[in-house]
Every structure is written in structure tokens, then in C-alpha cells.
């Protein structure tokens, strides 16, 4: 239990770290990109919604015209739900290159050590590899999540399946964000799994904190950089040799 609390502590520490001087730009830039992306998506969907609503209203009798207003209510609520449940996922992909720099800056702040210095060109060449590691995590996630979902159709153990799914998502959160500081040191994904398995309760506490807070509107805008910073502190404090 103490180790789970320690994982929660690392996550909270991440919120403090992202507001340190020199780190804010790695938070603001991907956040602005993501917000602009969702604003663009909103206006695009709004355009199609206007077209559909006009077509739909044309076939409604006068006494059912109020249904077009209901459609707009469903549209706004649905879009808000989309933001809540996809913002963190989209941010993870968009901000992946920025997150590596953020993890590097946090490690420098905490320990005074940084990975081997690389030129701007080297960093740009790393972008496909960084994105590739994030997509490999998605590849790790999908078959295991499907396997757990199958358990929901098995009588009796459905309650266990729900717990397993939550715990698996918590583990995945830790794996996703610990990848940034470990990737900066070129640690292989198999070694990352081994490292986390040796600290499974701390990893679970950290991932649970990230998972729960990512479901809170507005707060989830800062979840990704805070989780990256917190995971880097986790990596530094727990020994990264």
C-alpha cells in the first residue's frame, strides 16, 4: 500500500515540475496544437451538422420541428464527451516528440544528468522512432484488452474482468509515460517491462492516479505533461542505472 501511495506522490510531483522555468513551453506548445485541432474538428463537424439538420428539418412536420433543436443538444453533448475521452489519447500522439524533451529537462532539473547530447538534426531523426514506440505500446495494448473484454461474456467472472480491465489500463498509463525517460536512454521496451515489474505496486499507484485524473474535464488538459514529468521523477528516484 505504501508503494501505491508513492506512485500517487510521483504523479502529484509531476504537476509541480511542469510549471518550473524552462519546462512550460513543452506543455504549452502541444496543448495549443491539440486545442486548435479540436477547434478545427468542431467547426468541421458543425458544418456537416448544419447540412444534415437542414435536410432533416425539411422532412419534419411543423409540430416536430423541435427535434432539430434536440439534434443540436445531442451534437454539443456528444462533442464534449469526445473531448473528455479522446483528448489525452490524441495529446499522447501529438506531443510525443515534445514529451521526450520534457522528460530530458525534468531529468536535468532533478539529477543534473541528461542523456548523451544530440544535435537538432538527431532529435528530428528520432521523431519517427519516438512515435513508433508509442504505436508499439498501442500494439501491446489492443490484443490484451480484447482478451480481457472477452472475459465480460463469461458468466461469474465478469466482475473480475472489470477489475482486470481497470488495472490493465492503469499499468498501461505507467508504461506509456515511463517510456519517455527510458527511451531517452535507449532502454529497450523489454527492459522497461522488467524494470516496472520489479516496482509493480508503485507503477500501479502511479498509473491509477493518471487514469482517474484523465477522466476529469479541464484537469485532463494537463494530464499528459504532468504524467511525463512524474514518470521521469519515478525513473530518476527509483534508480535508472
81-117: pLDDT as tens digits: 666 556 666 666 677 678 888 888 899 888 876 655 5
pLDDT > 90? residue 156: no
* Mean pLDDT calculated for residue range 50-69: 74
Query: What confidence score (pLDDT) does residue 9 get?
Result: 93
Indicate the length of the chain as a whole number: 241
Name which residue leads in pLDDT, 34 or 222. 222
This prediction has a pTM of: 0.75
Q: Is 53 exposed, middle or buried (0-12, 13-18, 19+ CB in 10 A)?
A: middle
Query: What percent of the chain clears pLDDT 90, i.e. is strictly above it?
Result: 11
pLDDT > 90? residue 139: no
**How far, in Å, CA of 41 to CA of 38, rounded?**
5
Number of domains in the chain: 1
In-domain check, residue 41:
no
End-to-end C-alpha distance for the chain, whole angstroms: 26
Query: What confidence score (pLDDT) does residue 123 get?
Result: 59
Query: What confidence score (pLDDT) does residue 13 get?
Result: 93
In-domain check, residue 52:
no
**How far, in Å, CA of 60 to CA of 48, rounded?**
19
**How far, in Å, CA of 14 to CA of 237, rounded?**
13
In-domain check, residue 188:
yes
In-domain check, residue 119:
yes
- Which letter does DSSP use for residue 117 in this model? P
- Which letter does DSSP use for residue 188 in this model? -
- Which letter does DSSP use for residue 112 in this model? S
Name which residue leads in pLDDT, 159 or 104. 104
Query: What confidence score (pLDDT) does residue 116 get?
Result: 59
Query: Among residues 232, 225, 141, which one has the least CA distance to residue 179?
Result: 232
The contacts of residue 15 (CB under 8 Å, 6+ apart) are 222, 226, 229, 230
Name which residue leads in pLDDT, 227 or 75. 227
In-domain check, residue 167:
yes
Query: What confidence score (pLDDT) does residue 235 get?
Result: 92
Its domain, for residue 136, covers 2-23+96-237
Sign of CA dihedral 57, 61, 65, 67: negative
CB atoms within 10 A of CB 172: 19
Query: Among residues 9, 11, 10, which one has the least CA distance to residue 210?
Result: 11
pLDDT tens track for 168-191: 888 988 988 898 888 888 888 888
> How confident is residue 127, by pLDDT bands cut at 50, 70 and 90?
low
In-domain check, residue 103:
yes
Amino acid at each position: 500500500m505504501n508503494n501505491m501511495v508513492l506512485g500517487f506522490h510521483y504523479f502529484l510531483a509531476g504537476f509541480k515540475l511542469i510549471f518550473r522555468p524552462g519546462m512550460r513551453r513543452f506543455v504549452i506548445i502541444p496543448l495549443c496544437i491539440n486545442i486548435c485541432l479540436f477547434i478545427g474538428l468542431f467547426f468541421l463537424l458543425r458544418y456537416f451538422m448544419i447540412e444534415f439538420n437542414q435536410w432533416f428539418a425539411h422532412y419534419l412536420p411543423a409540430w416536430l420541428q423541435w427535434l432539430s433543436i434536440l439534434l443540436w443538444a445531442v451534437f454539443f453533448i456528444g462533442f464534449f464527451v469526445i473531448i473528455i475521452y479522446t483528448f489525452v489519447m490524441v495529446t499522447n500522439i501529438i506531443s510525443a516528440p515534445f514529451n521526450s524533451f520534457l522528460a530530458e529537462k525534468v531529468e536535468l532539473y532533478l539529477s543534473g544528468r541528461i542523456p548523451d547530447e544530440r544535435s537538432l538534426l538527431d532529435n528530428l531523426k528520432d521523431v519517427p522512432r519516438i512515435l513508433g514506440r508509442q504505436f508499439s505500446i498501442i500494439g501491446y495494448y489492443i490484443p490484451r484488452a480484447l482478451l480481457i473484454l472477452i472475459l465480460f461474456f463469461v458468466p461469474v467472472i465478469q466482475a473480475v474482468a472489470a477489475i482486470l480491465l481497470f488495472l490493465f489500463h492503469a499499468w498501461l498509463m505507467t508504461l506509456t509515460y515511463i517510456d519517455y525517460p527510458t527511451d531517452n536512454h535507449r532502454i529497450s521496451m523489454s527492459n522497461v517491462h522488467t524494470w516496472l515489474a520489479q516496482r509493480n505496486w508503485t507503477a500501479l499507484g502511479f498509473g491509477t492516479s493518471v487514469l482517474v485524473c484523465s477522466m476529469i474535464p479541464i484537469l485532463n488538459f494537463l494530464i499528459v505533461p504532468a504524467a511525463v514529468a512524474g514518470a521521469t521523477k519515478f525513473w530518476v528516484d527509483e534508480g535508472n542505472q
